[in-house]
Copies of this chain bind each other. A is one copy, B any other.
Amino acid sequence: MNDKSVQTIADIARLAGVSKSTVSRALSGSPLVNEETRERCCAIAAEHNFQINNAARSLSMKQSHTLALVAHAYHHKECYSVTDLFLLELMGAISGALSANRYDLLLASVDPYDTQWPHQYLDTGRVDGFILMTSTRKQFHIKTLVEMKAPFIVWGTPLPGFSYCSVTGDNLMGGRLATEHLLRSGRRRIAFVGGPANEFEVQKRYEGYESVLREAGYKIDPELVSYGEFSGPSSAERVAKLLKKSVTFDAVLTNSDLMAISAINVLQENGRRVPEDVSVIGYDDLSIAQHNSPSLTTVRQNLPLVGKLLAKNLVDYIQTGIVTNVTVPAELVIRKSA
């Protein structure tokens, strides 16, 4: 299967009766090779199941054809927030799109307070660029990367004043779609159980929520609006508080599917039926959304597409230097919970 006699392009060159240079060109699809010669070289390579040596190629070309997905090390202890489930679902899409572009995906677990990590991966020639998630998008990380001219792409809205690649969900639209759906189904007291107040994405979703209500002639009740983490417990706690304070509400608009699931659990424990008494809407549409009981009505972020764009646009940037900032549309998926 793997042929011990054919390990390098020199072996192929010998068999094909040409020089190493020619074999190298043939295998890399250079136009500087006679078609017939190219075919002969490729045939021999295929026949012997030849695989080009990656280190030699990287050393010579000064690029590794590897990208790092940056995850924060503290996520790997005990606590997995929504971002991590999100990360997993995204990882596959990224990895798939990357291999289509002949790139590999390295998993980089970095200390969130360390600023040296980019050097460890970039200066070693270990990777050609980074993919950052919203959770890793601390300002100082971005700034470090920009300063060292590291190629990278970010999932989330780009920081104003900096130029770099990004893929963002349409959070304003997401907030609008969810709110419109609730209004349409007769809900009037909609609690906004948000993620961190300082996250731009969260602010946009709130903006969508607020604008739809305002346009429909309703006022926002500040009692119904809260911010916290994207996690289930954070959501559960706030829904419980609403119940305890006897605030009336007939819908909960959360900022992640995990938050929605936890909200539903708390409501049910307190004798509220979902969606009969209270509608609950999630965000992301992770696979758990359809497996929950009741299944989640949620705003889909289209992770397969997001992953593909993250991979493709970073590779393009590395190869061409063109900065892209794209926004992926939000889509409402209606199931049982609202």
Contacts and interface: CB of A to CB of B under 8 A. Distances in A.
Contacts of A236: 293
B59 A55 contact: yes
A1 B119 contact: yes
A54 B1 contact: no
A104 B119 CA distance: 15
Interface in A66-115: 66, 69, 71, 73, 75-80, 84-85, 87-89, 91-93, 95-96, 99, 104-107, 109
Given A88-B88, A106-B107, A124 B265 contact: no
Contacts of A66: 106
Contact of A233 (B7, B58, B291): B291
Interface residues of A, number: 63
Contacts of A105: 106-107
A92 B106 contact: no
Contacts of A91: 76, 107
Nearest to A89: B80
A287 interface: yes
A269 to B, nearest CB: 6
Nearest to A68: B104
Interface in A42-65: 49-56, 58-59, 64
A186 B96 CA distance: 50
A20 interface: no
A49 B124 CA distance: 11
A90 B324 CA distance: 33
B293 A269 contact: yes
Contact of A59 (B56, B69, B96): B56
Contacts of A54: 58, 64, 124-126
A120 B105 CA distance: 14
Number of copies: 2
A104 B266 CA distance: 41
Given A75-B92, A80-B88, A88-B87, A59 B49 contact: no
Interface in A27-52: 49-52
Contacts of A87: 88
A95 B119 contact: no
A256 interface: no
B109 A96 contact: yes
A114 B126 CA distance: 27
B88 A104 contact: no
Contacts of A53: 59, 124-125
Interface in A107-141: 107, 109, 116, 119-120, 123-126
A173 interface: no
A92 B109 CA distance: 7
11 contacts: A1-B119, A54-B124, A73-B92, A76-B95, A79-B287, A85-B88, A87-B88, A88-B88, A92-B109, A96-B109, A99-B109
The 7 A-B residue pairs whose C-beta atoms are closest, nearest first, are A76-B92, A265-B293, A51-B123, A55-B58, A55-B59, A88-B88, A54-B124
Given A85-B88, A96-B109, A104-B107, 15 more contacts: A2-B123, A51-B119, A51-B124, A54-B58, A54-B126, A56-B59, A69-B107, A76-B92, A80-B89, A84-B88, A88-B88, A91-B107, A104-B106, A106-B107, A265-B292
